Structure 1
Amino acid sequence: MLRSPSASPARGRHRKARTPSPSLRRATLLALTAPVAGSILAGPSAFAADKPVAKNAALDSAERKVAKNLDGRAQDTRLGNTLGGVVIDADSRKTVWGHEATTALMPASNTKLATATAALTVLGPDHRFTTKVVYGGGTLTLVGGGDRTLTTGDLKALAKTAAAGLRNARLTSVKVRVDDSLFPKPTLATGWNTGYYPDTVAPVRALVVDGRMVTDTALDAGRSFAQLLTQQGVTVTGQVTRGAAGTGNVPVAQHQSDRLSVIVKHMLKVSDNDAAETLLRMTALASGRPATFEGGTAAVRTVLTRYGVSLDHFVIHDGSGLSRANRIPARTLADLLAVAADPRHSSTLKYVVDGLPVAGEAGSTLGPEWGRFDTAHSRCAVGKVKAKTGTLTGALALSGLTKAKDGRWKVFSFIENGSTAAPDAIKDALDGLAATVNGCWA
């Protein structure tokens, strides 16, 4: 979740000011394709296919100017003493500018770029998550399938179908159980603390409704389902319990989520921690690994290696980037984005690029409600920069792409750790670096 602009800087983690209703969240997804996002044009098709990497190739005059400006602006006192950054040409992969680019730094929510890449690669963009209702021995069991987007409306449809089946079987009362055994019992990731629960991230379970941030999302969903059954005229006896569905249970109803590509784009736009952790586990399962932090991060490493992304100094312990033990160099994040923008991977990874917030895009983490790209130096880049944000106490990051003055697409990554400046001031400085790469702040 995102940290509200009015939240205390001491907390530093991504958080929203308030949780919108399911209908509003779905409306927001549609709104995110509005004019500001459309103005950047940056689909993977805008990039040429990979050519041999030319990290030391000569720079053109526009690139030399960008590099010179970044040399000076990277010394901004707001950025402190620990800044890793890099700018590469998306076509040739030559390095335009770099500063401690291979230094391992805390990436915060930029970790979600790796999570999204692995999920799309292993599961596929068209994958859908299934929530089921099964019956056996006088009990209806709601079976979680890792769908973080399940809504009360979806549950109501499941309850309506289940109630009709019960009536056809001349059954008037049932017990209700939830089965969230797809994931093991929730644990803390390395680098997490209990203070994250449940407002920054909920304990990761395979069943949740309306994205509610509660300690036990599965039982919460089961209770909602029981109430909806009652509204359909079914008598629910006893308390909602937890347990695995029996092998002989009869399927009664099911609901499928939207496509993974839609879920990934939303996860990146608003930096949804819960979605990221669920996707990490589903990616682990699909790759034949246990649905744990360790299984998921191992799957991520395998996928990045397959794409030729260096794992030197790359350490992650979760999917969201909340772990303070995560370390990713700026160069690795830039290379990852260059892979996502490569048209050879367009059918799978274009949704990573599509999901990047656009500077000035309301409803995203680069929107005006977060005070992004609203200074004299960065305002010129509104609609021209797409980038993933990252915010933890003591760590801020911005990694994305923009079309520079030479007409060529540049991929950039900037990671700041340890600055004592106010978080909003650091974000303004990072936005200025992105505007420098674009060239509008010349």
Structure 2
Amino acid sequence: MNNSTAETQTSSFVPGGRRRHRRTKQSSAGLRRTVVLALAVPVASAALAGPSAFAAGNGTTTTAGGASGGAESADPSDQQMAANLDARVLDQRLGADVSGVVLDADSDETLWDHDGSTALMPASNVKLATATAALTVLGPEHRFTTRVVYGHGTLTLVGGGDRTLSSADLAELAKTAVAGLKKAGLGTVKVAVDDSLFPAPALADGWNDGYYPDTVAPVRALVVDGRGVQDTSIDAGQTFAGLLAQDGVTVSGDVTRGTARHTDVPVAHHRSAPLADIVKKMLKTSDNNIAETLLRMTALGAGRPATFEGGTEVVRHVLSHRYGVSLDNFEIHDGSGLSRTDRVPAATLAQILELLTQPRYAHTLGAILDGLPVAGEAGSTLGPEWGRFDDPHSQCAVGKVQAKTGTLTGAIALSGLTRTDDGEWRVFSFIENGSTAAPNDIKDAMDGLAATVNGCWA
């Protein structure tokens, strides 16, 4: 965690105007402990502040200098940007249900708002909320541990929520285990897996049957090589058993599921890369499985059950009580955004991203900024292989926009940051639901909006 002074922040979002913040300082000597203790009891303020406003927008747009309280002396370039967005948000490719917000992070003003408080299906933009909570509760240096223990003739592979565990990591665990077995004069062993860290259910509300195991696997505490299979724990155990056999140990019987005993002898362990690196990977490639694992581990870190409900409760608490992000019309049921029952306003996503521009949060949340795909960055979800920022209107923003993508059938989102020519941060969020245009055409229109915020498409 960041050792700088922690702040409890509340805010109210004012479309077309200033976002008022009231900050009360508190001791920083144990922010994580504060979060854990606060979440040990039900949090009444985490209830939805209002019903979902999905498809309830009135189509209004508020721009800088508008009647809603925007800065009367708005910069001419911002006024032009807002005017361009007024016209371009009506692009038929975006459909009728589209929302958007642009914030000036330096002046704390809303430069443009088009139904920004309307809650729409955000797709993978939910990962921004998941990453924020995980880094805040666990800390960017946190590592996940996979263990091997021995007892009663059985080696048990114990899952610790490391969604990045690889076959090479398992090979090192097997090598250490074999050395211990041979030293003890044991040549035959049974193999079991313990994934009891994550209780059922393994599937979230709102996930379509076609999502798993390829788009997302049932959420378990043990997996190897990120494989998309129905039972990742047994699969990992079978890989481990095969590695033991290669090293000369006879594995008796099939791999089974069990629970490690407190009397079992520790044999080997593997620690993951730091959480900051895992978050970067999750955001660059929009990895659904990492997101769902982080949601469970964040719940555990805050003293809550490692369930979808426990994880989303912690996300809500962290966003609202730690950072003062508005939860009006905010409703999530998973950590990845695959749930078709998730609803999040563009205004909320913009507030989350605005945190990344504030130096006091750089240590804790810096991995999110570093992990956001960059327009035109190969290997990310904004790379040329996905056809992003290759439209004549958006090509000018290549290398200038960092943003999280979101794509589901009937929902496309793009939320991120860019800097003006004079180095000022502009934060944006755009979400559309229900457009009948081809997905690639919708994305081209979205990329154009981001290029408009950057100012290169003037």
TM-score of the superposed pair, with normalisation by structure 1: 0.87
> In the TM superposition, what is the alpha-carbon distance from 1:406 to its structure 2 partner?
4.9
Q: Deviation of residue 196 (structure 1)? A: 1.2
Return the match for 2:71 from 57, 60, 63. 57
Q: 1:79 deviation in Å?
A: 0.5
Partner SS state of residue 402, structure 2: strand
| Counterpart amino acid of residue 334 in structure 1 | A
CA contact (8 A) 2:144 2:161 kept: yes
* SS of residue paired to 1:208: coil
Corresponding residue to 2:427 among 404, 408, 411: 411
Deviations 1:198-221 (A, max 9, x none): 111000000000000000000000
Could you tell me how far apart the structure 1 residues matched to 2:422 and 2:194 are? 56
Report if the CA contact (8 A) 1:277-1:319 is conserved. Answer: yes
Matched, 1:130 2:150: no
**How much does 1:402 deviate?**
0.5
Match of 1:156 in 2: 171
Counterpart for residue 57 of structure 2? none
Is the Cα–Cα contact under 8 Å of residues 334 and 413 in structure 1 kept in the other structure?
Answer: yes
Tell me the equivalent position of 1:310: 326
Post-superposition offset of 1:248: 0.3
Pairs within 5 Å for 1:173-252: 173-252=188-267
1:100-139 → structure 2 map (5 Å cutoff): 100-139=115-154
Equivalent in 246, 270, 284 of residue 255 of structure 1 = 270
Per the alignment, residue 294 of structure 2 pairs with: 279
Q: Distance in 2 between matches of 1:62 and 1:431?
A: 19
Q: Structure 1, residues 288-316: CA drift from partner, whole Å, max 9, x if none?
A: 11111100000000000120000000000
Show the counterpart of 2:58: none
| Residue-by-residue CA offset, 1:128-184 (whole Å, 9 max, x unaligned) | 000000000010000000001100000000000000001111111100000000001
2:162 matches 1:147: yes
Q: Percent identity?
A: 70
CA distance in 1, matches of 2:423, 2:172: 50
The 3-state SS of whatever aligns with 2:118 is: coil
Q: Does 1:329 align with 2:345?
A: yes
Deviations along 1:304-350, whole A, 9 cap, x unmatched? 01200000000000000000110110010000000122111111001
**Partner Cα separation in structure 2 for residue 341 and residue 221 of structure 1:** 40
Tell me if the contact between 2:129 and 2:352 (Cα under 8 Å) persists in the aligned partners.
yes
Q: Contact 1:83/1:414 (CA < 8 Å) preserved in 2?
A: yes
SS at match of 2:429: strand
Confirm or deny: 8 A CA contact 1:268 1:357 kept in the other structure.
yes
Aligned counterparts of 2:361 and 2:156: Cα–Cα separation in 1: 40
Aligned to 1:35: none
In structure 1, the residue corresponding to 2:120 is in which secondary structure?
Answer: coil
Q: For 1:212 and 1:153, how far apart are their aligned partners in 2?
A: 14
Highest relative contact order (Cα 8 Å, sep 6+), 1 or 2?
1
- Paired residue secondary structure (1:420): coil
Q: Match for 2:372 among 356, 373, 392? A: 356
Let me know the Cα RMSD of the aligned residues: 1.3
Which of 401, 405, 411 is the matching residue for 1:385?
401
Residue equivalent to 1:26: none
CA distance in 1, matches of 2:294, 2:208: 21
Q: Distance in 1 between matches of 2:156 and 2:209?
A: 30
Residue 69 in 1 paired to residue 84 in 2?
yes
* Structure 1 unmatched ranges of 5 or more: 1-49
Residues in 2 aligned to 1:211 and 1:153: alpha-carbon distance in whole angstroms: 13
Partner of 1:13: none
* Deviation sequence 1:345-400 (CA, Å, 0-9, x none): 11100111111000000000000000000011000000000000000000000000
Three-state SS of the structure 1 residue aligned to 2:389 is coil
Runs of 4+ in structure 1 off by over 6 angstroms are none
Range that drifts further, 55-64 or 381-390: 55-64
Number of corresponding residues: 393
- SS where residue 62 of structure 1 aligns? helix
Whether the aligned pair in 1 keeps the contact of 2:203 and 2:219 (CA below 8 Å) is no
TM-score (norm 2): 0.84
Bigger fraction of residues in strand: 2
Q: Which residue of 2 aligns with 1:402?
A: 418
**Bigger CA drift: 321-330 or 180-189?**
180-189
1:262-301 to structure 2, matched below 5 A, reads 262-301=277-316
Q: Is the 8 A contact 2:213 2:228 kept in 1?
A: yes
* Amino acid aligned to 1:61: P
